[in-house]
Amino acid sequence: MSKTIWITGAGSGIGKALALAYNENGNTIILSGRKKVQLDEVASLLSSSYVLPLDVSEEQAIATVVAEVEAKYGSVDILINNAGVSQRALVTETSNEVGRQLMEVNFFGSIHLTKAVLPLMVKAGKGNIVGMSSAAGKFGFPLRSYYSASKHALHGFYESLGLELKDTDIHTTLVCPGRIKTDISKNALKGDGSPQAEMDPGLEKGVDVTVCAAKIKRGIARNKSEIYVGGGEILMIYFKRYTPWLFRFIAKRVSPK
């Protein structure tokens, strides 16, 4: 059965890979992101798509595009809040403005779009809402203070929302990728807001983004509440949960890049 799937941050990385993964069974993929050129390139690879440029940090723009989606499709079967930006800077080097930017995109952008789409799913009586967190959403890590905080915040919100929707056929999923080979570190913000513009060595050796997308897709289909995908660094999630002392021992010795 075909579905309507809305993916933000769909122009590259995990978002693009997810769009390609869902390109089957007559699915329609709504592609959102800030760079229309990238979205158009992804759309050219899909059987059925709709390009809908969006900066998730602009709350009024969210209301406008959701109204457009409702008029065109009625509702959305799967909403994947993938838009986000990372950070590579010490706390002491990160301006408050950059900190707010990270929170606006990673947390409020995801939340505001979810809240705008949720009434459509309630009316339809079904849906899947996916928040893109991170392994850093489960533990703090150097050079990622605001990034980690924004991802931690997603867990509090989506866990609460999931419990509120427990008696419905609307499901929430949080995805926690570890080191996936994308350009996220190149686009990560330094303390002054400029991009790092270089690939982290760890990400260079990360999990292939196509493999990552396939695992996320399977998890969403199973209505999993959390999905972990990555390499050995995913063990850090379990160390933090069950042996915090071991997590701290390792974290102090691992390169933040």
Instruction: State the Cα–Cα distance between residues 111 and 89, nearest whole angstrom.
Output: 25
Give pLDDT, residue 129: 98
CA of 164: how far to CAs of 138, 152, 160, 188, 232, in Å?
22, 19, 6, 34, 34
Tell how far CA 29 is from the center of its chain: 16
Check if 73 is active-site. no
- For the chain, give the mean pLDDT: 96
User: Both tokens of residue 231?
Assistant: 């390499």
Nearest to 100 by CA among 57, 61, 51: 57
pLDDT greater than 90 at residue 253:
no
pLDDT greater than 90 at residue 231:
yes
Looking up residue 232, the CATH number of its domain turns out to be 3.40.50.720
Identity of residue 76: V
Radius of gyration (Cα) for the chain, nearest Å?
A: 18
User: Both tokens of residue 82?
Assistant: 């993938």
pLDDT greater than 90 at residue 256:
no
Position with higher pLDDT, 1 vs 93: 93
Within-domain flag for 151: yes
Instruction: State the Cα–Cα distance between residues 198 and 185, nearest whole angstrom.
Output: 7
Per-residue pLDDT, averaged over 139-152, amounts to 97
Give pLDDT, residue 109: 98
CA of 45: how far to CAs of 21, 22, 39, 49, in Å?
11, 12, 10, 9
Within-domain flag for 240: yes
What strands lie across the sheet with 226-229, from one edge to the other? 49-51, 28-31, 4-7, 78-81, 127-132, 170-177, 226-229
- Residue 77: count other Cβ atoms within 10 Å of its Cβ: 18
Within-domain flag for 52: yes
Within-domain flag for 85: yes
Give pLDDT, residue 31: 98
Quote the number of domains for the chain: 1
Tell how far CA 68 is from the center of its chain: 22
Record the pTM.
0.96
Q: Which of 22, 50, 146, 147 is catalytic?
A: 147
Structural domain of 71: 4-251
Map 164-204 to HEC letters: HCCCCCEEEEEEEECCECCCHHHHCECCCCCECCCCCHHHH
Within-domain flag for 55: yes
Within-domain flag for 80: yes
Within-domain flag for 257: no
Q: Residue 148: which H helix or E strand, with range?
A: helix 145-164
**Torsion angle defined by CA atoms of residues 151, 154, 156 and 162, in that order, rounded to the nearest 10 degrees:** -140
Binned at pLDDT 50, 70 and 90, residue 173 comes out as very high
Give pLDDT, residue 1: 87
Nearest to 139 by CA among 204, 236, 220, 53: 236
CB 189 within 8 A of CB 87: yes
Within-domain flag for 110: yes
Give pLDDT, residue 202: 86
Instruction: State the Cα–Cα distance between residues 129 and 171, nearest whole angstrom.
Output: 6
1: Cβ contacts below 8 Å, ≥ 6 apart: 25
Per-residue pLDDT, averaged over 191-203, amounts to 91
